[in-house]
Structure 1
Amino acid sequence: MTTTTDGSWLTALVDWAVSLMELVGPAGAGLAIALENVFPPLPSEVILPMAGLAASRGTFTLFEALFWTTLGSIVGAFLLYGLGRWFGAARLRAVAARTPLLHPEDIDRTVAWFERHGAKAVFFGRMLPIFRSLISIPAGVTRMRMWRFGLLTAAGSLLWNAIFVLAGFFLGESWHVVEMYVDVLQYFVIAASAIGVAWFVWARTRALLRRRGDASPASD
């Protein structure tokens, strides 16, 4: 199988993932995707089409490619879910209390939001770059029922994985056509996240300066 190579560390990771598939078959694809959930820079957008390409060449079946990559997604998601559950809301509140511009109430609001919308967040989050991994942590923090988290993760992951596995299966070496659209989505998610963080920092800094300004006349 061939990959896009540019001599970078990312290429080395992709080459390792492809070698793993060639060595142990579809279980190797599942292991690579499980690691991608824990280490997002490992690109599922490359690993999954390679699994589809291998299936088209008869290395393993299309069903095996979909089954093992989805299983890998579930395993990786539960690792981060366990981390979030272990850390818990109480520790997050303590961290927020010691972090500039954050308040423990921020954690309470986030937990309350996730308890209301967590199901949609987990399902659709599995189809968003970056968030597809991180969404497991708040699910663990809020102690979403494990069976529910597992089902939502499996459904969202199967849909996401199928797009790229089938692209590799049917498009062969031309699967990069799909990758271009994912790059646009990824840039959009990064830009939206950056804007959100910038707005939060601006709003909190402005509120802090206003409080200090209101307190200064009183101290005089």
Structure 2
Amino acid sequence: MKQFLLISILFILSIGFVSYKATHALFNDTAQSQNNTFSAAQTFHVVISEVQINGSNANQDFVELYNPTSSVVDLNGWQLQKKTSSGAISSLVLFGSSHIIPAHGYFLWANNQTPQNPFSTSIGADVSNGNNLSENNSIALEDASNNIIDQVGWGTGISQYVEGTLIDNGSDTNKSMERKAYSTSTDVTMEGGVDETKGNGYDTDDNSNDFILRTVSDPQNSSSGAEMP
């Protein structure tokens, strides 16, 4: 009887330990379980993943979206809204019925007003127009019901679209602001490092914490390969 009781107690303790490890792994930002790293700040909706406001030409602007989910997202009726440095609002682009983001994939808007071969063509933009971005601006991604899904602001604009704190301008030629893959991601790991192909799904609702500045931009479109954490 005593032996059976001892075995029962040990079994209960082992179950409790396994349960604790599983819970700890799911809710600790850097915990590991069976060699898989979990991030508590991985998001489950479309996010603004990379923004360039100044290429080799002043109009070489782009906004990249990333879909961190396992389902295709239909962008019909969605739009990107822009605020100028003074807070004035305008539509950057309205998406149509043919615009979708693949699962774990990307979608790309770009400015097409360049004197040479359009920049939007050279980077394979999924949609383009003559609108542009500048320093101290911000953008918001809205769904077809005008709900703000994500927003990103940079510089020192007034009353901007922003989550948390505005990002540094990142206005040097061909630089871009890119969303991290993980909490531990840096400009080194995201640009040619171990996190480069791990997606851009890190979101703590704080722009200055969620983005890094790339020395060379890397726009991706709906034909780019899927990226998963």
Give the TM-score, by structure 2 length: 0.20
Name the one with the larger strand percent: 2
Name the one with the larger helix percent: 1
